[in-house]
Amino acid sequence: MISLLVLATALAAAPVTAAPAEATPADALFIDGANAALRRVWVRSSSADWVRQTNITGDTEFLAAELNADALATLSGLTRQSLRFDTVRASSPAVARQLQLLRNPSVLAAGLPVVSPTDPAKQAELAAISARLDGMYGKGKWCGADGKQKCRDLGELEEVMASSRNWDALLDAWAGWHTISREMRPLYARLVELANEGARGLGWKDTGELWRAGYDMPAADFEADTDRLWGEVKPFYDQLHCYVRAELQKRYGKERVPDRKPIPAHLLGNMWAQSWDNLYADLEPFKGQPSQDVTGALVAQQWDAKRMVKLGEGFFSSLGFEPLPASFWERSQFVKPRDREVVCHASAWDVTFAADLRIKMCIKPNEEDLVTVHHELGHNYYQRAYAGLPILFQNGANDGFHEAIGDAIALSITPGYLKQVGLLTELPRDDKGLIDVQLKRALAKVAFLPFAKLVDQWRWDVFSGKVPPARYNQAWWALREKYQGVAPPVARSEADFDPGAKYHIPANVPYTRYFLAAIYQFQFHKSLCEAAGWKGPLHQCSIYGSKAAGKKLNDMLKLGMSKPWPEAYAVLTGSRKADAKALLEYFAPLRAWLAKQTAGRACGW
């Protein structure tokens, strides 16, 4: 079998011979060959990665690393080869767009976010490090300080974080999980070196600049734009932080949760303090309202994983989308297998880039996973909408779009929708019930924004050299305090590598997409509600059942990455610019209520 690297090199080296006038111009011929070569290597590496993530062994890690190395080499080679067309007028807008995308491979569907160096040995080393880091995370367990306790994986430790209110139990789970990443530090430092070498080979200063340049605007402008968006929502976050800290003080005391200090990170119901909705039962302002306990209903009604996914499919069917293919139900991973190690982190796949749709989850009967199912299916329906495009266009308009679509759909999981599908018996009766519902959603979505902003801020600083390996952990916690107002519950040092305890760091998945999605989704939701003819408050709207909203959504989805993201944004929203106005409108009742609750309190940190 011909080597994939040799295939890519041959495509570049083939002479462009004289041809009849109707023949494909040289740049279009190159793009056709690039699409064919990338399809071949991406399908192979995607298939291997699916096998690895659903069955983590030394063999599957090795195979995934080998095929990812081929993908890295092929993509990096084609990227470099595309530069020869920099001074040539493109033969068509579509070819020009594909050449533009090739020059920044971090944005491409199934493209790897780090660019491989040209040295084959370093290419293989980078692929092996990437697979090793991902595997270390997936196999992470905490077996107690003495190593004699029952070993618990992340799922079990997350259950402690979500349900326990015992300071020591939470501290043990938090500190225990953060031990799994200590050995990652030297591997990650080497990954940064190799990734930067690859980025510089394409003319970028470092990998962080490469990432920031993938948004149809200069890298510096993009960073400034994320700062602008964060500035629009920060006052709302500060209100929420102030309220939550005061409520935690009632349980744990001001000695442990002082005024004007960051909140200890293990108290917020989540391993990374990135979302706080698991605290809702403790923070619920108005007791005695109709129950909004969706998790209790799922358990009581004995919902299994497949039924939860069927509900999600039904939502999209109500918008006019075709049912999922039979292969989806045969090939997806819905629950955690008992006989092997897997990566449980939820993800959606088109393994062969031909509508081979799947989701990979370890679904449990709870509200969080029900929302996640709807979110992941949003990815799948997006993937299917653009599956007929050239593979270079098979992605969201920018990487925030994919996440935003899933989250916008989740905004339609309103109490009214949940009652309609039998998971709630009563709706909120009055303004008090509304505040309860809004607080619960803000604890998930607004609390998440600063974390979503800082993860890549840390990586941008690491890639640029502003933060050297000797200060990895110090810089991480400085950003956690600056943006989130949280602090580690126990002393940390550079013997720790706490960034690696978050999946997206060892898996090398850019994170700014989630920050953008957290903003975009509300603009998307507002536009879809308008298409559905909704006239009431934005927070009450569900587009469930609206074919008109489904058509407007699909008009944007089918563009994939074929247009600059502002154009795709305008198709759905009518605007080429993102802002937080729709988010603030959505949460207007809660913002007014929080302003009263926090008046006169010692807010800030």
Cβ distance 373 to 91 under 8 Å?
no
Options 178, 266, 374, 375, the catalytic residue: 375
Q: Reply yes or no on whether 376 is catalytic.
A: yes
Tokens in use for 116?
């491989």
What's the CA gap between 292 and 290, in Å, rounded?
6
Options 346, 507, 548, 602, the catalytic residue: 346
Options 379, 402, 525, 539, the catalytic residue: 379
Cβ distance 60 to 138 under 8 Å?
no
The dihedral through the CA atoms of 414, 396, 399, 509 has a sign that is: positive
Q: What is the DSSP string of 75-93?
A: HHHHHHHHGGGTTS--SSH
Residue identified by tokens 């990895």 is 472
Give per-residue burial for 460-478: e unless 16+ CB within 10 Å, then b: bbbbeeebebeebbebbbe
What's the CA gap between 214 and 216, in Å, rounded?
6
Q: What is the DSSP string of 479-515?
A: HIIIII-EE-SS---TT--GGGGSTTTTTT---HHHH
Q: Reply yes or no on whether 379 is catalytic.
A: yes
What's the CA gap between 75 and 237, in Å, rounded?
40
Cβ distance 276 to 270 under 8 Å?
yes
Cβ distance 528 to 408 under 8 Å?
yes
What's the CA gap between 441 and 75, in Å, rounded?
40
What's the CA gap between 148 and 527, in Å, rounded?
55
Q: Reply yes or no on whether 345 is catalytic.
A: yes
Q: Find the distance separating the first CA and the last CA of the chain, reported in whole Å.
A: 61
Options 158, 209, 367, 403, the catalytic residue: 403
Q: Reply yes or no on whether 346 is catalytic.
A: yes
Options 417, 487, 504, 548, the catalytic residue: 504
Number of helices (H), then strands (E), belonging to the chain: the values are 25, 6
| Residues pairing with 487 in the sheet | 264
Q: What is the 3-state secondary structure (H, E, C) of 164-185?
A: CCCHHHHHHHHHHHCCCCHHHH
The strand pair at 152-153 and 141-142 is best described as: antiparallel
- Compute, in degrees rounded to 10, the torsion defined by CA atoms 390, 392, 395, 396: -100
**Rg (the chain; Cα; Å):** 24
Q: Reply yes or no on whether 514 is catalytic.
A: yes
Q: Reply yes or no on whether 403 is catalytic.
A: yes
What's the CA gap between 45 and 130, in Å, rounded?
13
- Sequence-ordered strand ranges (E) for 105-247: 141-142, 152-153
Options 61, 197, 209, 376, the catalytic residue: 376
The strand pair at 486-487 and 263-264 is best described as: parallel
Options 345, 368, 503, 570, the catalytic residue: 345
What's the CA gap between 268 and 471, in Å, rounded?
26
Contact residues for 430 (Cβ-Cβ < 8 A; gap 6+) = none
Residues serving a catalytic function are 345-346, 375-376, 379, 403, 504, 514
